[in-house]
Amino acid sequence: MPTKLEKFAEFESFDNCVTLFWENLSKGFALKGKWHKEHFKNQKPIVLELGCGKGEYTIGLAEKHPEKNFIGVDIKGNRIWTGAKQAIDNNLNNVAFIRTKIDFIDYCFEANEVDEIWITFPDPQPQSPRAKQRLTHTLFLDRYKKFLKQDSIVHLKTDSTGLYEFTLEVIKENNLPLIWHTNDLYKNCPADRQELINIKTHYETLFTAKGEDIKYICFKLG
Protein backbone atom coordinates (compact mmCIF):
# COMPACT_ATOMS: atom_id res chain seq x y z
CA MET A 1 0.00 0.00 0.00
CA PRO A 2 1.45 3.41 -0.97
CA THR A 3 2.38 5.84 1.79
CA LYS A 4 0.42 9.05 2.32
CA LEU A 5 3.09 11.07 0.49
CA GLU A 6 3.14 8.59 -2.38
CA LYS A 7 -0.64 8.85 -2.68
CA PHE A 8 -0.42 12.65 -2.83
CA ALA A 9 2.17 12.47 -5.60
CA GLU A 10 0.23 9.92 -7.64
CA PHE A 11 -3.04 11.79 -7.08
CA GLU A 12 -1.56 14.87 -8.74
CA SER A 13 -0.71 12.78 -11.81
CA PHE A 14 -4.19 11.29 -12.28
CA ASP A 15 -6.10 12.59 -15.31
CA ASN A 16 -9.40 12.31 -13.42
CA CYS A 17 -8.28 14.57 -10.55
CA VAL A 18 -7.67 18.27 -10.04
CA THR A 19 -6.46 20.20 -6.98
CA LEU A 20 -7.91 23.67 -6.53
CA PHE A 21 -6.86 26.18 -3.91
CA TRP A 22 -7.85 29.82 -3.69
CA GLU A 23 -4.71 30.91 -5.54
CA ASN A 24 -5.92 28.92 -8.58
CA LEU A 25 -9.61 29.73 -8.32
CA SER A 26 -9.20 33.47 -7.78
CA LYS A 27 -7.52 33.71 -11.18
CA GLY A 28 -10.28 31.75 -12.90
CA PHE A 29 -10.59 27.98 -13.22
CA ALA A 30 -10.17 26.70 -16.79
CA LEU A 31 -12.78 23.93 -16.49
CA LYS A 32 -15.48 26.17 -15.01
CA GLY A 33 -18.35 26.01 -17.47
CA LYS A 34 -16.47 23.47 -19.59
CA TRP A 35 -16.73 20.22 -17.65
CA HIS A 36 -18.94 18.64 -20.31
CA LYS A 37 -16.87 19.70 -23.30
CA GLU A 38 -13.30 19.63 -22.00
CA HIS A 39 -13.27 16.88 -19.38
CA PHE A 40 -16.11 14.38 -19.84
CA LYS A 41 -16.49 15.13 -23.56
CA ASN A 42 -20.22 14.47 -23.43
CA GLN A 43 -23.42 16.24 -22.37
CA LYS A 44 -24.52 13.81 -19.68
CA PRO A 45 -25.87 15.28 -16.40
CA ILE A 46 -23.26 16.13 -13.77
CA VAL A 47 -23.76 14.90 -10.20
CA LEU A 48 -21.59 16.05 -7.27
CA GLU A 49 -20.75 14.24 -4.05
CA LEU A 50 -19.60 16.77 -1.46
CA GLY A 51 -17.26 15.49 1.24
CA CYS A 52 -16.70 12.30 -0.74
CA GLY A 53 -13.87 10.87 1.40
CA LYS A 54 -12.50 7.78 -0.33
CA GLY A 55 -15.11 8.09 -3.05
CA GLU A 56 -17.10 4.92 -2.35
CA TYR A 57 -20.42 6.64 -3.05
CA THR A 58 -19.17 8.44 -6.16
CA ILE A 59 -17.84 5.16 -7.55
CA GLY A 60 -20.97 3.22 -6.59
CA LEU A 61 -23.26 5.72 -8.31
CA ALA A 62 -21.05 5.91 -11.39
CA GLU A 63 -21.06 2.14 -11.81
CA LYS A 64 -24.86 2.01 -11.65
CA HIS A 65 -25.46 5.12 -13.75
CA PRO A 66 -23.22 5.29 -16.83
CA GLU A 67 -25.73 7.78 -18.25
CA LYS A 68 -24.46 10.41 -15.79
CA ASN A 69 -21.13 12.03 -14.89
CA PHE A 70 -20.01 12.09 -11.25
CA ILE A 71 -17.57 14.38 -9.46
CA GLY A 72 -16.44 13.71 -5.89
CA VAL A 73 -15.21 16.68 -3.86
CA ASP A 74 -13.05 16.55 -0.73
CA ILE A 75 -10.07 18.38 0.77
CA LYS A 76 -8.15 15.19 1.65
CA GLY A 77 -6.12 14.14 -1.39
CA ASN A 78 -4.84 10.92 0.18
CA ARG A 79 -8.45 9.84 0.73
CA ILE A 80 -9.63 10.75 -2.76
CA TRP A 81 -6.70 8.75 -4.17
CA THR A 82 -8.59 5.53 -3.33
CA GLY A 83 -11.63 6.38 -5.44
CA ALA A 84 -9.63 8.00 -8.21
CA LYS A 85 -7.42 4.95 -8.64
CA GLN A 86 -10.42 2.62 -8.55
CA ALA A 87 -12.10 4.67 -11.28
CA ILE A 88 -8.98 4.46 -13.44
CA ASP A 89 -8.48 0.74 -12.82
CA ASN A 90 -12.13 0.04 -13.70
CA ASN A 91 -12.21 2.37 -16.72
CA LEU A 92 -14.93 4.55 -15.22
CA ASN A 93 -14.70 7.50 -17.57
CA ASN A 94 -17.74 9.15 -15.99
CA VAL A 95 -15.87 9.87 -12.73
CA ALA A 96 -13.72 12.83 -11.67
CA PHE A 97 -12.49 14.20 -8.35
CA ILE A 98 -11.75 17.69 -7.10
CA ARG A 99 -9.50 18.34 -4.14
CA THR A 100 -10.65 21.64 -2.66
CA LYS A 101 -12.53 23.20 0.24
CA ILE A 102 -16.28 23.06 -0.28
CA ASP A 103 -16.32 26.74 0.69
CA PHE A 104 -14.92 27.34 -2.83
CA ILE A 105 -17.31 25.01 -4.68
CA ASP A 106 -19.14 27.80 -6.52
CA TYR A 107 -15.85 28.83 -8.16
CA CYS A 108 -15.53 25.38 -9.75
CA PHE A 109 -18.73 25.40 -11.83
CA GLU A 110 -20.67 27.79 -14.04
CA ALA A 111 -24.39 28.56 -13.72
CA ASN A 112 -26.62 25.61 -14.70
CA GLU A 113 -23.66 23.25 -15.03
CA VAL A 114 -24.62 20.77 -12.28
CA ASP A 115 -27.79 18.66 -12.08
CA GLU A 116 -27.69 17.01 -8.65
CA ILE A 117 -25.82 16.98 -5.31
CA TRP A 118 -25.17 14.24 -2.76
CA ILE A 119 -23.98 15.21 0.73
CA THR A 120 -22.92 11.98 2.40
CA PHE A 121 -22.11 11.84 6.11
CA PRO A 122 -20.57 15.30 6.45
CA ASP A 123 -19.16 16.62 9.71
CA PRO A 124 -22.36 17.63 11.56
CA GLN A 125 -20.54 20.52 13.28
CA PRO A 126 -22.59 19.97 16.47
CA GLN A 127 -21.38 23.12 18.25
CA SER A 128 -23.78 26.01 17.65
CA PRO A 129 -21.01 28.54 16.84
CA ARG A 130 -19.99 26.29 13.93
CA ALA A 131 -23.48 25.99 12.45
CA LYS A 132 -22.43 28.07 9.44
CA GLN A 133 -19.95 25.31 8.55
CA ARG A 134 -22.73 22.74 8.10
CA LEU A 135 -22.99 21.81 4.43
CA THR A 136 -26.77 22.29 4.50
CA HIS A 137 -26.62 25.76 6.06
CA THR A 138 -28.29 28.48 3.98
CA LEU A 139 -24.85 29.96 3.24
CA PHE A 140 -23.83 26.74 1.50
CA LEU A 141 -27.19 26.31 -0.23
CA ASP A 142 -26.72 29.79 -1.70
CA ARG A 143 -23.35 28.68 -3.08
CA TYR A 144 -24.91 25.59 -4.65
CA LYS A 145 -27.66 27.66 -6.27
CA LYS A 146 -25.04 29.51 -8.31
CA PHE A 147 -24.29 26.43 -10.41
CA LEU A 148 -27.31 24.12 -10.03
CA LYS A 149 -29.98 23.88 -12.69
CA GLN A 150 -33.50 24.88 -11.73
CA ASP A 151 -35.24 22.36 -9.45
CA SER A 152 -32.11 20.27 -9.03
CA ILE A 153 -32.20 17.61 -6.33
CA VAL A 154 -30.03 17.62 -3.20
CA HIS A 155 -29.63 14.46 -1.11
CA LEU A 156 -28.38 14.25 2.48
CA LYS A 157 -27.41 11.04 4.26
CA THR A 158 -26.29 11.34 7.88
CA ASP A 159 -26.17 9.52 11.19
CA SER A 160 -26.59 12.84 13.03
CA THR A 161 -30.04 13.59 14.42
CA GLY A 162 -28.93 17.18 14.99
CA LEU A 163 -27.92 17.73 11.37
CA TYR A 164 -31.05 15.96 10.14
CA GLU A 165 -33.34 18.23 12.18
CA PHE A 166 -31.28 21.32 11.35
CA THR A 167 -31.54 20.60 7.62
CA LEU A 168 -35.30 20.14 7.77
CA GLU A 169 -35.55 23.51 9.50
CA VAL A 170 -33.36 25.17 6.85
CA ILE A 171 -35.55 23.69 4.11
CA LYS A 172 -38.64 25.08 5.83
CA GLU A 173 -37.10 28.52 6.42
CA ASN A 174 -36.11 28.80 2.75
CA ASN A 175 -39.45 27.48 1.43
CA LEU A 176 -37.72 24.71 -0.50
CA PRO A 177 -39.69 21.77 -1.91
CA LEU A 178 -39.14 18.77 0.37
CA ILE A 179 -39.41 15.56 -1.64
CA TRP A 180 -38.96 12.91 1.03
CA HIS A 181 -37.22 12.34 4.34
CA THR A 182 -36.90 9.68 7.02
CA ASN A 183 -35.08 9.34 10.33
CA ASP A 184 -34.54 5.61 9.70
CA LEU A 185 -33.64 4.96 6.07
CA TYR A 186 -32.92 1.26 6.45
CA LYS A 187 -36.32 0.67 8.02
CA ASN A 188 -38.37 2.93 5.77
CA CYS A 189 -36.61 2.80 2.39
CA PRO A 190 -39.22 2.33 -0.39
CA ALA A 191 -38.96 -0.79 -2.52
CA ASP A 192 -38.27 1.30 -5.63
CA ARG A 193 -35.42 3.20 -3.96
CA GLN A 194 -33.27 0.37 -2.64
CA GLU A 195 -30.22 1.98 -4.23
CA LEU A 196 -30.28 4.38 -1.28
CA ILE A 197 -29.17 1.56 1.02
CA ASN A 198 -27.31 -0.64 -1.46
CA ILE A 199 -24.56 1.94 -1.98
CA LYS A 200 -22.68 2.75 1.24
CA THR A 201 -19.86 5.05 2.25
CA HIS A 202 -17.10 3.87 4.59
CA TYR A 203 -18.72 5.68 7.51
CA GLU A 204 -22.18 4.40 6.66
CA THR A 205 -20.88 0.84 6.86
CA LEU A 206 -19.40 1.56 10.30
CA PHE A 207 -22.54 3.28 11.58
CA THR A 208 -24.93 0.58 10.42
CA ALA A 209 -22.68 -2.12 11.91
CA LYS A 210 -23.16 -0.36 15.26
CA GLY A 211 -26.93 -0.35 14.76
CA GLU A 212 -27.17 3.42 14.36
CA ASP A 213 -30.10 4.83 12.39
CA ILE A 214 -29.29 6.52 9.09
CA LYS A 215 -31.25 9.65 8.24
CA TYR A 216 -32.03 10.78 4.71
CA ILE A 217 -33.43 13.97 3.20
CA CYS A 218 -34.18 14.77 -0.44
CA PHE A 219 -35.19 18.28 -1.53
CA LYS A 220 -35.15 20.62 -4.52
CA LEU A 221 -32.81 23.56 -4.92
CA GLY A 222 -31.84 25.85 -7.74
Number of domains in the chain: 1
Q: What is the pLDDT of residues 159-194, one digit of tens each?
A: 999 999 999 999 999 999 999 999 999 999 999 999
What domain range is 114 assigned to?
4-221
Least confident of 120-124, 129-133, 137-141, 167-171: 129-133
Provide the greatest CA pair distance for the chain.
Answer: 48
The predicted-structure confidence for 12-69, as pLDDT tens digits, reads as follows 788 999 998 888 788 889 999 999 999 999 999 999 999 999 999 999 999 999 999 9
Of residues 123, 151, 159, 192, which has the active-site annotation? 123
Alpha helices in the chain (DSSP H): 4-13, 22-25, 56-64, 77-89, 138-145, 161-173, 185-188, 195-198, 202-209
Task: Give the domain CATH number at 51.
Answer: 3.40.50.150
Active site residue 123: yes
Q: How confident is the model at residue 130 (pLDDT cuts 50, 70, 90)?
A: confident
